């Protein structure tokens, strides 16, 4: 590509403005770290950390940044369609925005938010001092960050992906998308997907092998159960994406014909591979949210979770069925009546275990002493809104009816009625719920509730009109429409709802600033009077998590210990072995970022150089002798006294 083609996207005023804002932001951060002489602290305590809590915080920070980026895309799409024959965006820019919106929100916002909360909470809930493979955990984060960076570079250098977030062939092939946008798609998802696969293996090992004494599987908190099942899905689903993206790269950059419509290729092969991964991916981001709602509803209802065993079994059944429904995404593509019927029935079956969970949450709240905190409001709003998404999902599951709904805004509305209450409400509930565990103080409740109402009301105003538009024939991905269609009024209402949601997310950001400055610091590690083990330690949590690993004899052990006046963390201190920090994961991910960037543009000399450098990092780690370090008893005692406020 010529330099002119390389920076072609910069001719768009909005993209130029975004690029300038990124540069200004980066310069501000660098200048701030330099002025306050924080480079050493930042590198030592964050960039090289292997502490699961700090890695979780970094995941959440990136997720919030990506939420902002994906939210801007959403507002631009709603603004473009708010009035007929609008010229705010041209067709190409609109294609790029709805493609990157889907990718950013699902893979670079929902996934890191979920994984960030897992990182912070799961080791604490099982009484572990870290994850099983701390260095691998750091590499997982930095690979994800490299993938996110690569995707965001695309809209400045070379051009964004523009074939939809599903990248269907032949549209995503070199014939119809000759620019490098879909090369970026393949490599950004490949990097982040490898990091996610490592996370899956890491957390399965952590949960299965590092639980506190006495903590049997059927005594684990529901969020830990949801994390275990989710990571099992990850280890089975993500290799399919890895292979599909590799084949995509071969087709686009080496002239193979796996997904071509000629020479023995099959474009539907991509659709099958994508959704064999893609539908379990929906449950990868929803099941942990189900676990969060279980923790929140139980805590703020002051009751045990109703139907614990049935909740576990329902998640297992959902995880199995999630691999058996992928073809419902293309009923209209000629499978035939028998195949469509099988996938229709299997899709409807998922409503059964999901309904079990809904009723269990409702029965948990029955006769409970409900506290209407910000996390509880998100959990309460989730139930009716998600039910609408589930009911419309059953409508879409009917293969014959889907011929009417398919590729209309009805499908878009359904998708958002499932994912926003089922994932975004979940992570926001968990974010508010566990914030004091991470930082030692609560977010402001008034601002939190104001943000909730803006988001909940704005969401319904934004997306319910899309059901009506879809039934009236308004196709998805249309960047404009004529006034004679009559779509203008409902589209304008939808845009106003999106603005309401934007106000809510802005309040969430302001709440962080306000609470850091004004919220009182909690004097104990349990501000919610919660039930599970993570609340038994201090807030913020020390490096070693627990000075004495607690022993667990029943579900909600910490809750019963409080009521009985027992201290489950009491005992004699012993020195604690902890892993050493390492900069290798960050630098290796940086090298892989450059490897992928040059691969996108087929600069083979640079690809070889950075490929060899990656192998060098792997070889170095294979022969490195790093035995970690010990925290001595005297240091533990001093830390505990400080955290307790003893003089």
Quote the Cα angle for 165-168-169, to 5°.
145
Q: What range does the domain containing 495 cover? A: 38-582+626-644
- The continuous run of DSSP H or E covering 578 comes out as strand 576-578
Q: Which two tokens stand for residue 105?
A: 């929100």
CA–CA separation, 141 vs 205, rounded Å? 17
CB-CB contact of 298 with 364 (8 Å):
yes
Q: Decide if 11 is inside a domain.
A: no
User: Is the pTM for the entire model greater than 0.85?
Assistant: yes
pLDDT of residue 22: 75
Q: Decide if 598 is inside a domain.
A: no
CB-CB contact of 410 with 466 (8 Å):
yes
User: Does the structure show a pLDDT above 80 at 2?
Assistant: no
**φ and ψ at residue 252, rounded to 5 degrees:** -80, -35
Q: Average pLDDT for residues 127-147, to the nearest whole number? A: 95
User: Does the structure show a pLDDT above 50 at 647?
Assistant: no
CB-CB contact of 376 with 297 (8 Å):
yes
Nearest to 53 by CA among 111, 130, 145, 146: 130
User: Does the structure show a pLDDT above 50 at 111?
Assistant: yes
pLDDT of residue 10: 66
pLDDT in tens, 366-398: 988 999 999 999 999 999 999 999 999 999 989
- CB within 8 Å of 555: residues ≥ 6 apart: 218, 219, 304, 308
Q: Is 443 helix (H, G, I), strand (E, B) or coil?
A: coil
**How does residue 533 score in pLDDT terms, banded at 50, 70 and 90?**
very high
Express as a percent the part of the chain with pLDDT over 90.
73
CB-CB contact of 530 with 296 (8 Å):
no
CA–CA separation, 120 vs 605, rounded Å? 41
Number of structural domains (the chain) is 1
User: Does the structure show a pLDDT above 80 at 427?
Assistant: yes
Q: Decide if 561 is inside a domain.
A: yes
User: Does the structure show a pLDDT above 50 at 185?
Assistant: yes
Q: Is 215 helix (H, G, I), strand (E, B) or coil?
A: coil
**How does residue 4 score in pLDDT terms, banded at 50, 70 and 90?**
low
pLDDT in tens, 281-316: 999 999 999 999 999 999 999 999 999 999 999 999
Q: Is 237 helix (H, G, I), strand (E, B) or coil?
A: helix
216: left (phi over 0), alpha (psi -120 to 50) or beta: beta
CA–CA separation, 218 vs 531, rounded Å? 16
Q: Decide if 17 is inside a domain.
A: no
Q: Is 203 helix (H, G, I), strand (E, B) or coil?
A: helix
CB-CB contact of 312 with 357 (8 Å):
no
CA–CA separation, 194 vs 200, rounded Å? 10
User: Does the structure show a pLDDT above 50 at 536?
Assistant: yes
pLDDT in tens, 159-178: 889 898 999 999 999 999 89
What is the overall mean pLDDT for the chain? 91
**How does residue 246 score in pLDDT terms, banded at 50, 70 and 90?**
very high
pLDDT in tens, 188-239: 999 999 999 999 999 999 999 999 999 999 999 999 999 999 999 999 999 9
pLDDT in tens, 344-363: 999 899 999 999 999 999 99
User: Does the structure show a pLDDT above 80 at 148?
Assistant: yes
Buried-exposed string 524-536: b where 16+ CB fall within 10 A, e elsewhere: ebbbbebbbbbbb
Express as a percent the part of the chain with pLDDT over 70.
97
**How does residue 511 score in pLDDT terms, banded at 50, 70 and 90?**
very high
Q: Decide if 614 is inside a domain.
A: no
**φ and ψ at residue 576, rounded to 5 degrees:** -115, 130
Q: Decide if 541 is inside a domain.
A: yes
Q: Which two tokens stand for residue 469?
A: 């538009």
CA–CA separation, 277 vs 307, rounded Å? 30
pLDDT of residue 5: 62
pLDDT of residue 26: 79
pLDDT in tens, 591-619: 999 999 999 999 999 999 999 999 999 99
CA–CA separation, 534 vs 526, rounded Å? 9
Q: Decide if 612 is inside a domain.
A: no
Q: Name the least confident of 5-14, 465-474, 489-498.
A: 5-14
Q: Average pLDDT for residues 131-152, to the nearest whole number? A: 95
User: Does the structure show a pLDDT above 80 at 145?
Assistant: yes
pLDDT of residue 29: 84
pLDDT of residue 542: 92
Between residues 381 and 641, which one has the greater pLDDT? 381
The CA-atom distances, in angstroms, between 631 and each of 18, 560, 579 are: 46, 30, 10
Q: Which two tokens stand for residue 202?
A: 């890491």
pLDDT in tens, 30-61: 888 888 888 888 899 999 999 999 999 999 99
Q: Average pLDDT for residues 633-643, to the nearest whole number? A: 89
Nearest to 479 by CA among 83, 14, 13: 83
CATH of the domain at 342: 1.20.210.10
User: Does the structure show a pLDDT above 70 at 77?
Assistant: yes
Q: Decide if 386 is inside a domain.
A: yes
């Amino acid at each position: 590509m010529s330099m002119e083609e390389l920076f072609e996207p910069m001719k768009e005023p909005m993209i130029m403005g975004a690029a300038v804002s990124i540069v200004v932001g980066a310069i501000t951060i660098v200048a701030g770290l330099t002025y306050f002489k924080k480079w050493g602290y930042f590198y030592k305590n964050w960039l090289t950390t292997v502490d699961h809590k700090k890695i979780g915080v970094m995941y959440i920070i990136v997720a919030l940044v990506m939420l902002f980026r994906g939210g801007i895309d959403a507002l631009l799409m709603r603004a473009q369609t708010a009035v007929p024959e609008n010229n705010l965006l041209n067709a190409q820019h609109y294609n790029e925005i709805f493609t990157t919106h889907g990718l950013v929100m699902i893979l670079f916002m929902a996934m890191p938010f979920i994984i960030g909360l897992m990182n912070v909470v799961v080791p604490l809930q099982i009484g572990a001092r870290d994850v099983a493979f701390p260095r691998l955990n750091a590499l997982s984060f930095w690979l994800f960050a490299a993938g996110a960076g690569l995707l965001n570079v695309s809209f400045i250098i070379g051009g964004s992906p523009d074939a939809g977030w599903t990248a269907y062939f032949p549209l995503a092939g070199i014939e119809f998308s000759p620019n490098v946008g879909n090369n970026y798609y393949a490599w950004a998802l490949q990097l982040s997907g490898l990091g996610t696969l490592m996370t899956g293996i890491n957390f399965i090992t952590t949960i299965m092998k590092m639980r506190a004494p006495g903590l049997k599987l059927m005594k684990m908190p529901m969020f830990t159960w949801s994390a275990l099942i989710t990571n099992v899905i990850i280890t089975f689903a993500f290799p399919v994406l890895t292979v599909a993206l590799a084949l995509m790269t071969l087709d686009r950059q080496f002239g193979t014909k796996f997904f071509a419509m000629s020479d023995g290729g099959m474009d539907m092969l991509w659709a099958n591979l994508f959704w064999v991964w893609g539908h379990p991916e929906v449950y990868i981001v929803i099941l942990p949210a189900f676990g969060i709602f279980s923790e929140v509803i139980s805590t703020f209802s002051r009751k045990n979770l109703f139907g614990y065993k049935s909740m576990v079994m329902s998640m297992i059944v959902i995880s199995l069925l999630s691999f058996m429904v992928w073809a419902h995404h293309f009923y209209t593509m000629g499978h035939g009546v028998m195949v469509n019927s099988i996938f229709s029935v299997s899709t409807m079956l998922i409503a059964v275990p999901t309904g079990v969970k809904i009723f269990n949450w409702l029965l948990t709240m029955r006769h409970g002493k409900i506290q209407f905190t910000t996390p509880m409001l998100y959990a309460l709003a989730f139930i009716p809104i998600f039910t609408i998404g589930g009911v419309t999902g059953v409508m879409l599951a009917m293969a014959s009816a889907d011929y009417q709904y398919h590729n209309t805004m009805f499908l878009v509305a359904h998708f958002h009625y499932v994912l926003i209450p089922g994932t975004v409400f979940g992570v926001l509930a968990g974010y508010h719920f566990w914030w004091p565990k991470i930082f030692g103080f609560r977010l402001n409740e008034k601002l939190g509730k104001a943000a909730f109402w803006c988001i909940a009301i704005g969401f319904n105003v934004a997306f319910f009109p899309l059901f009506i538009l879809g039934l009236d024939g308004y196709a998805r991905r249309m960047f404009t429409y004529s006034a004679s269609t009559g779509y203008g009024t409902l589209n304008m209402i939808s845009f106003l709802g999106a603005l309401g949601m934007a106000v809510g997310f802005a309040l969430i950001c302001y709440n962080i600033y306000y609470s850091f400055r004004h919220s009182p610091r909690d004097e104990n590690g349990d501000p919610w009077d919660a039930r599970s083990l993570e609340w038994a330690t201090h807030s913020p949590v020390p490096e070693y998590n627990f000075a004495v690993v607690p022993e667990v004899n029943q579900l909600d052990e910490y809750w019963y210990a409080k009521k009985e006046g027992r201290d489950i963390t009491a005992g004699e201190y012993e020195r604690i072995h902890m892993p050493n920090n390492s900069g290798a994961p960050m630098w290796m991910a940086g090298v892989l970022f450059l490897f992928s960037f040059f691969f996108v543009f087929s600069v083979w000399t640079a690809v070889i150089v950075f490929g060899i450098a990656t192998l060098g990092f792997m070889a170095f780690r294979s022969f490195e002798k790093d035995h970690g370090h010990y925290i001595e008893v005297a240091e533990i005692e001093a830390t505990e006294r400080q955290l307790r406020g003893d003089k």
